[in-house]
Chains A and B, each alone.
Chain A
Amino acid sequence: MNHAPDFDSRVAAALANPTLKVAIERTTGTARTKRAAAMAAWPEFPAARALGRDIKDHVIENLAHYLVAFEKNADAAGTKVHWARTGEEACQIVVDICRKAGAKSVTRAKSMLGEEIGLPHALEAAGLERVETDLAEHIIQLAGDPPSHIVWPALHKTREQVAELFRAHHRDPGAMATVEAMVASARRQLREKFMAADVGISGANFLVADTGAVCTVTNEGNAELTTTPPRIHIVTAGIEKLVPSTAHAMAMLRLLVRSATGAELTQYTTFHNGPKRAQDRDGPDEFHIVLVDAGRTRMLNEGLAEMLRCIRCGACLNHCVVYRQIGGHAYGATYPGPMGSVLTPMLDGLEQAQDLPRACTLNGQCQEVCPVAIPLPTLLRGWREKSWQRGFEPARVRWALALWRFTAMRPRLYEFAGNIGLRIMPLFAHGGWISRMPLAGGWTAHRDMPSPSGGTFLAQYRRRFKK
């Protein structure tokens, strides 16, 4: 794993990792191909996308209304709703529920919010046995890694590395020759834990305001095994997960699943609503939902309301040229890729995360694929502006830019300075190309620079067409 304190070192480590690029490309490459095929077969995508955007915007504009409605309807179904202003508060609420129930072992279905608020750590710190039931989460739990992708948390591990991990940690690993054999080994390892857990904790893909239900989607069915057998089911969810009704949740699901994996639906789509009723065969005795703010209402006031539309599909990561080279861990945060570079300065502070909005070519492909049309490049530019205003850019960059701006406002000086540069550059050239030049190391370390010749366009134009 990649624990270097600064972004540049984490990037260097990622780029030097011989298997990382292969692992990233296997998963994101498949995701891109499948998504493209799904979109090609779905001419209504632009309309569905506009609808998805409008649904989320509507909820965000009327957040208080829908939160109150959700609480009322969840309460009517027998659910206990808790409110957490911060991640710590949310963890404390979860730990308190576990303690009160005398719980020893907790199963957890993958939830990025859980990662964001540090829930895995909080559970362990409270002395609870934590069992990750999502296969990928199980892998990174064994490896001791944080997730490197919001949909495939173990994307940075190759099949071969996973087989090695299972061989080292599983009771009865078997041959591990095929993916099926590996899954079977994980199943043997995890099944009995599923059934023996006291508390199951899951996240939410959608919170349905008019029924009080929580919708989760998985492909492994682990969410259902996490939330049904234990006595207590706890959901932690960000308040932006609200949708007005089940019909709205379905509209969002179509966008989410196609954007994430290219499939029309996930294998399991479950609406959890309240604890076990008298006539039910199974289900938890207690059902808790912890609604977490943790910066979300602050985002509304900081020009980041559009980011609250995000449904965590991962498409922006899969299509990001930077993510595809450096992987998730180099970002040094819970959420990587374009959406992470917008969220992290909010969650961890801009000064600490200042590199993330800058380490982007602003090519716009993330916005193009985003199923809820979040203008990610514009939001990243917004952070760059704040970063500039607060003076986080290194002094040498500020000076260079100030000098450049001063000359760009004065055409004669601009031309004069340009001409000096154009006279100097050919001194470093060999056969038309410059492969090393002082002050140009950022460029010439990796690529050559064509040597200019014959003066500027403006000067040549004057010579040709004017006196």
Chain B
Amino acid sequence: MPKCAGLEQNVTLEIRPAENSLPHVALFATCLVNAMRPAVGFAALALLEQAGCRVDVPQGQTCCGQPALNSGDAEGTRQIARRNIEMLEPFDHVVVPSGSCAATIRLHYPELLAHDPAWAARARNLAARTHELLSYLADIRGWLPEGISLEASATYHDSCSGLRELGLKAQPRKLLAAVNDLTLRKLEGEETCCGFGGTFCVKYPAISNAIVDEKAVAVEASGAALLLGGDLGCLLNMAGKLHRRGAAVRAFHAAEILAGMGDAPAIGETP
């Protein structure tokens, strides 16, 4: 980044991509997508390209640090944050197919590094350029799916971090409404937590189970054939509970549907 010598204060300028050039985007897949559902990564990749981005998948990526953050290990999270900042700052934008991982970079990295003179500005700078996938497509790229159709009924769960930390609510609905033949049914308690909570669900399995059981009942009551969401952790939790209950509801990340991958196996289905 160039320094501006002609100013009173020494400021660094962030170089923005010119209007007509394609933004160079890093896809940060998240550890759950990487290990448990690569299809979401490929869907995100396809969507970003359709939306006019030049996409790279940095090969050094691992995790955003949430397990440490939520366990109170601030120093451990800082180590991971610094590493991710270094890896991701060459890109114009960082896009993450998860509200909670995007919120970790957008909100918690700057908080955690606020008192670190060497890193505070870098953390804020990266945070400002990091986006959750669905809001990036709808708000920043102004993109809508075209020519995608899926004849099915679906219901949508608003995962908490995306909803409350990033304001993700209208965007997924707007994008999904553009998928032909897809009907969206209301999920009673769509803004109520599903009981995943990252490490919470294995630290307090009995409470988590009681919560997700209630969620599964609501999903079944919606009468929808598909359960969609924007966070794989919550989707695995709900899909796992639905399957244990013997429900026929099939679960997908919303990105998969938007990318026309709704005829592929749902979470837990074998090809």
B197 at the interface (CB under 8 A from A): yes
Contact of A404 among B59, B67, B191, B203 (CB under 8 A): B67
- Least distance between A239 CB and chain B CB atoms (Å): 30
- Set of chain B residues within 8 Å of A389, measured between Cβ atoms: 72
| Contact assessment for B207 and A393 in the assembled complex, using a CB-CB cutoff below 8 Å | no
Residue from B71, B74, B164, B202 with most neighbouring chain A CB atoms (10 Å): B71
A432 to B269, CA, bound (A): 5
| Contact assessment for B72 and A450 in the assembled complex, using a CB-CB cutoff below 8 Å | no
Which chain B residues numbered 61 to 94 have a C-beta less than 8 Å away from chain A? 61-63, 65, 67-74, 76, 79-80, 83
Q: Can you name the residue of chain B whose Cβ is closest to the Cβ of A445? A: B205
Q: Can you name the residue of chain B whose Cβ is closest to the Cβ of A453? A: B270
| Contact assessment for A458 and B34 in the assembled complex, using a CB-CB cutoff below 8 Å | yes
- Least distance between B243 CB and chain A CB atoms (Å): 5
Contact of A409 among B83, B197, B240 (CB under 8 A): B83
B206 at the interface (CB under 8 A from A): yes
| Contact assessment for B71 and A393 in the assembled complex, using a CB-CB cutoff below 8 Å | yes
Q: Can you name the residue of chain A whose Cβ is closest to the Cβ of B60? A: A411
Q: Can you name the residue of chain B whose Cβ is closest to the Cβ of A449? A: B240
| Interface membership of chain B positions 31-45, coded 1 if the CB is closer than 8 angstroms to chain A and 0 otherwise | 101111110111001
Contact of B80 among A359, A367, A408 (CB under 8 A): A408
- Set of chain A residues within 8 Å of B63, measured between Cβ atoms: 404, 408, 414
A441 to B164, CA, bound (A): 30
A181 at the interface (CB under 8 A from B): no
A359 to B205, CA, bound (A): 10
B195 at the interface (CB under 8 A from A): yes
| Contact assessment for B72 and A448 in the assembled complex, using a CB-CB cutoff below 8 Å | no
Which chain A residues numbered 343 to 367 have a C-beta less than 8 Å away from chain B? 358-365, 367
Q: Can you name the residue of chain B whose Cβ is closest to the Cβ of A404? A: B67
Interface extent on A, as a size class?
A: 35 or more
- Least distance between A344 CB and chain B CB atoms (Å): 16
| Interface membership of chain A positions 386-398, coded 1 if the CB is closer than 8 angstroms to chain B and 0 otherwise | 1111000100010
| Contact assessment for B74 and A361 in the assembled complex, using a CB-CB cutoff below 8 Å | no
| Contact assessment for B244 and A448 in the assembled complex, using a CB-CB cutoff below 8 Å | yes
Known pairs A409-B79, A409-B83, A443-B205; A457 contacts B29 (CB<8 A): yes
Q: Can you name the residue of chain A whose Cβ is closest to the Cβ of B203? A: A358
- Least distance between A450 CB and chain B CB atoms (Å): 4
B178 at the interface (CB under 8 A from A): no
| Interface membership of chain A positions 267-297, coded 1 if the CB is closer than 8 angstroms to chain B and 0 otherwise | 0000000000000000000000000000000
Which chain A residues numbered 87 to 146 have a C-beta less than 8 Å away from chain B? none
| Contact assessment for B33 and A457 in the assembled complex, using a CB-CB cutoff below 8 Å | yes
A210 at the interface (CB under 8 A from B): no
A404 to B207, CA, bound (A): 25
Q: Can you name the residue of chain B whose Cβ is closest to the Cβ of A447? A: B240
Contact of A360 among B33, B79, B197, B267 (CB under 8 A): B197
| Interface membership of chain A positions 412-428, coded 1 if the CB is closer than 8 angstroms to chain B and 0 otherwise | 00100010011000000
- Least distance between A359 CB and chain B CB atoms (Å): 5
Known pairs A381-B72, A447-B243; A442 contacts B38 (CB<8 A): no
Residue from B70, B204, B243 with most neighbouring chain A CB atoms (10 Å): B204
- Least distance between A88 CB and chain B CB atoms (Å): 32
| Contact assessment for A365 and B192 in the assembled complex, using a CB-CB cutoff below 8 Å | yes
| Contact assessment for A401 and B243 in the assembled complex, using a CB-CB cutoff below 8 Å | no
- Least distance between A464 CB and chain B CB atoms (Å): 8
- Least distance between A302 CB and chain B CB atoms (Å): 15
| Contact assessment for B207 and A422 in the assembled complex, using a CB-CB cutoff below 8 Å | no
- Set of chain A residues within 8 Å of B265, measured between Cβ atoms: 432
A56 at the interface (CB under 8 A from B): no
- Set of chain B residues within 8 Å of A458, measured between Cβ atoms: 29, 34, 57, 59, 61
| Contact assessment for A361 and B67 in the assembled complex, using a CB-CB cutoff below 8 Å | no
- Set of chain A residues within 8 Å of B57, measured between Cβ atoms: 457-458, 461
- Set of chain B residues within 8 Å of A388, measured between Cβ atoms: 71-74
- Least distance between A40 CB and chain B CB atoms (Å): 15
| Interface membership of chain B positions 187-203, coded 1 if the CB is closer than 8 angstroms to chain A and 0 otherwise | 00001110111101111
A30 at the interface (CB under 8 A from B): no
A169 to B164, CA, bound (A): 48
B255 at the interface (CB under 8 A from A): no
| Contact assessment for A401 and B73 in the assembled complex, using a CB-CB cutoff below 8 Å | yes
- Set of chain A residues within 8 Å of B268, measured between Cβ atoms: 432-433, 448, 450-451
A387 to B73, CA, bound (A): 9
Known pairs A447-B212, A448-B240; A401 contacts B202 (CB<8 A): no
Q: Can you name the residue of chain B whose Cβ is closest to the Cβ of A322? A: B207
B186 at the interface (CB under 8 A from A): no
Which A residues have a C-beta under 8 Å from some C-beta of B?
8, 11-12, 15, 321-322, 325-326, 358-365, 367-368, 381, 383-389, 393, 397, 401-402, 404-405, 407-409, 411, 414, 418, 421-422, 431-433, 435, 441-443, 445-458, 460-462
A-B contact pairs, 12 of them (CB 8 A): A15-B206, A15-B207, A322-B207, A325-B210, A326-B207, A358-B204, A365-B191, A385-B72, A385-B73, A401-B68, A401-B73, A460-B42
Which B residues have a C-beta under 8 Å from some C-beta of A?
29, 31, 33-38, 40-42, 45, 57, 59-63, 65, 67-74, 76, 79-80, 83, 160-161, 164-165, 191-193, 195-198, 200-213, 236-237, 239-241, 243-244, 265, 267-271
Knowing that A383-B72, A457-B41 are A-B contacts, what are 9 other residue pairs whose CB atoms are under 8 Å apart, sorted by A's residue number? A359-B204, A362-B160, A364-B165, A385-B73, A432-B265, A445-B205, A445-B209, A455-B38, A461-B38
> Across chains A and B, which 7 residue pairs bring their CB atoms closest together, nearest first?
A361-B197, A384-B72, A442-B202, A388-B72, A447-B240, A363-B193, A446-B209
